[in-house]
Chain A
Amino acid sequence: MESKQQVINKLRQDILSWEGYKAPTAGRRAQLGLGPLESAFPQGVFPQHSVHELVCASTEQVAASGGLVTGILSKLMQADGVCVWIGREKHLFAPALATFGVLPHQIIFINLPKDRDALWVMEEALKCPGLTAVVAELREMDFKQSRRFQLAVEHSRVTGFVLRNASAKLSSTACAARWQVKSLPSTEMNGLPGLGFMRWQVDLLKVRNGQAGSWSLEWQDGQFVPVEENRQQEERQVS
């Protein structure tokens, strides 16, 4: 006789699979090493084969979101994965990606001023199984379009990221998660003057089947490190 908890767990699993969520297959690395970000998702696994949207209210937030995406990309792309980055203008500066552990020559940049072209290219790219991830900067994306993206990635198993403008009324989309990234002031390292590690306030506003959450993260030596933990470490060192 199964206990009540086991029954509930089993039912949860069933509901997840009915909702289209597939458990990671054996043989693949389940954990990407994204630190606390992964815990928010069902079963603690970052959904690779889905589309994530990042809402950006200002140019600074676009840059910060780009940083988070690049950090995640470094885990996804590994040695020789390829990523397509669809931008509005030629603003992304390739050498900066190297600081996040991504090889910039493994990224193909496509500059499209018109959203119509960008949506078409994004969908085509998401259908391509030869890619690891696709990042697109869009002004607006409606539900229908996001549903098309989601259907495309379910076949090709590519990860999609959409950086979109934050408007007053955000329409709902079919994306697996909605993020918002803001910069936070860095702290001095061991009392030295100057800037510390890059620090962000990462908000997971919506997530399918998971828990929304909010973290303060730092990018340290190729890892996302939660700030609280960091502080405790420092305190331990001091005491």
Chain B
Amino acid sequence: MQKRFMAIWFRHLLTDGLTRRRQELKDLPFVLASPVKNRIIIVAASAAAEKEGAFTGMAVADARAAVSELMVIDALPDQAAVLLRLIGLGCIRYTPSVALDLPDGLLLDISGCAHLWGGEREYLKEIVLKLRAAGFDARAAIADTPGTAWAVARFALRRPIIASGGQAAAIATLPPAALRPKPEILENLHKLGFNQISPLLAIKSQILRRRFGQSLLLRIDQALGHTEEYLQFLVPPVPFTERLPSLEPIRTVPGIEIAIEKLLEMLCSRLQAEGLGIRKAILKCHRIDGRKVQVGITTTKGSHSVSHLLRLFKLQIDKIEPALGIELFVLEARRTEEMETVQEQLWSESKGLGDTSLAELLDRIAGKVGDAAIQRFLPAEHHWPELSVKLAGSLTEQPKTAWPELPRPIRLLSTPEKIEVMALVPDHPPKLFVHKRKRHTIAKADGPERIGREWWQDSGEHRDYYVVEDTEGQRYWVFRSGHYDGSDATWYLHGYFA
């Protein structure tokens, strides 16, 4: 497919950007200036100032002589990059590949995008009008190569759209500066009397290289399309992305659902062909007021099932604020994983943890109440009760050691609760304990089971655990912290047996 590029040139990028924020500066002659080697030099001049004779690169003192009521404002460093980045991100609704072209332009890879707006002419008009409405004096051009588009946007007065293959004719009459040469080479070209590009094209490449070096040849080749020019895009392309522009801005829940379903159908058929499944996906909604809202889903197991992913997104729809309407939906598969192809079983008695419907259920629950609520435990090799289980890393992780066969309560209090205890003899199980102002008389007891602390990471008293049963048959897990030394043996209730 023939690639097409668009170059946008902002004639007064910095001053327009400032005027947008400070409306009172509109139509006033003002310049942005910063000190260079003890002189204050104009960095950018507004349209009104240029009309009266103050240009970029002049000293402020000279400009003041030419323009009586010139306003001078301190320039901020790197302001151009900040502004271009913002505008570039705004342009992502027209194409996913936008590159910065410092100091005053943008380069867009628009291959395969323009037909969505009804052709390149309408596409260009739409972008330029949008930018002008935003207050930027922008000019744009479309060509096969970024170099030609750049040249035409800046130096050609009319016909901004160059037909495919027409690069040489388009740049022939333009000045050599349109080739983006280095300043010293440009000066040389002027000295030698090159006012147009066409004579340069007629000269043999060996001679050009000897006179002006390899860099000029490269620029000519890039403009004509003999050499590829690589752009560094603002947003790195995500391999699995689908876009859905809408004719009318969408504001309703059913509308958003239909959009998500269409996007998922497109994305999932691509993923299925490559045997991949989505682990993490993000839906970006570009609104007509220029804002962007996004929601994301994650799955525990790669999936390319449209119905399942749609159900996950439906749980998130109420987080999307459409405001005045959404004009573009972008669905990105941020993380994918290879799917294991599973043989379908008609009658399966045992389902197990690898079951797809289980993974889908957990995805839905995680989407509704959050990931943290879902836990699965594996045995940890610790005796200390609070440390004896660990969270499983994945749904199918299997325990490496067997579960210990020890009497453990079915309900364990997360923090042991203090109880008052009466024990007949030291180091004997208690005869009676009071918990929450209720007396429990103990009929039978087992124990003690001494559990020591892991001294290498934790200092403190050991615990002597007893299983006790009161007269009603209710069974408890109680422990005494530390040795019994007559004065202050503290007892705790730690759990309930079944």
Interface of A toward B, CB cutoff 8 Å: 59-60, 62-64, 66-68, 70, 78-82, 84, 89-100, 103-112, 117, 120-121, 124-125, 128-132, 182-186, 188, 193-196, 198-200, 219
Complex formed: what's the CA distance from A67 to B497 in Å?
8
Cβ of B445 to closest chain A Cβ, rounded Å: 7
**Contact code string B445-487 (vs A, CB < 8 Å = 1, else 0):** 1100000000000000000000101011111000000000000
Chain B interface, DSSP helix/strand/loop, else mixed: mixed
| From B350, B399, B408, B444, contact of A194 by CB (8 A) | B444
CB distance B404 to A98 under 8 Å? yes
CB distance A186 to B469 under 8 Å? yes
Residues of A within 8 A of B361 (CB): 84, 124-125, 128, 130-131
- B369 interface residue (CB < 8 Å to A): yes
- B495 interface residue (CB < 8 Å to A): yes
10 closest A-B pairs by beta carbon, nearest first, are A67-B498, A130-B355, A93-B412, A63-B496, A130-B357, A130-B358, A98-B403, A185-B473, A94-B377, A183-B473
How many B residues touch the partner, as a band?
35 or more
| From B365, B377, B408, B445, contact of A195 by CB (8 A) | B445
CB distance B357 to A128 under 8 Å? yes
Residues of B within 8 A of A104 (CB): 377, 379, 389, 403
Evaluate whether A80 and B350 lie within 8 angstroms (CB atoms) in the complex, with A95-B408, A128-B357 already known.
Answer: yes
Residues of A within 8 A of B351 (CB): 80-82, 129-132
Complex formed: what's the CA distance from A79 to B351 in Å?
10
- B202 interface residue (CB < 8 Å to A): no
CB distance B389 to A92 under 8 Å? no
Known contacts A82-B358, A93-B389, A124-B364; can you find 10 more A-B pairs with CB under 8 A? A91-B412, A94-B389, A98-B405, A106-B353, A107-B376, A107-B377, A112-B373, A117-B368, A130-B357, A131-B358
Residues of B within 8 A of A91 (CB): 411-414
Complex formed: what's the CA distance from A190 to B404 in Å?
26
CB distance A112 to B414 under 8 Å? no
Cβ of A175 to closest chain B Cβ, rounded Å: 21
CB distance A129 to B472 under 8 Å? no
Residues of A within 8 A of B102 (CB): none
Residues of B within 8 A of A103 (CB): 403
> CB-nearest residue of chain B relative to A27?
B347
CB distance A105 to B411 under 8 Å? no
Complex formed: what's the CA distance from A50 to B450 in Å?
43
Complex formed: what's the CA distance from A68 to B404 in Å?
21
CB distance A129 to B375 under 8 Å? no
Complex formed: what's the CA distance from A125 to B365 in Å?
9
Residues of A within 8 A of B411 (CB): 59, 62-63, 66, 91-93
Residues of A within 8 A of B357 (CB): 128-130
Which residue, of B361, B374, B392, B409, has the highest number of chain A Cβ atoms within 10 A? B361
Residues of A within 8 A of B365 (CB): 110, 121, 124-125
CB distance A82 to B353 under 8 Å? yes
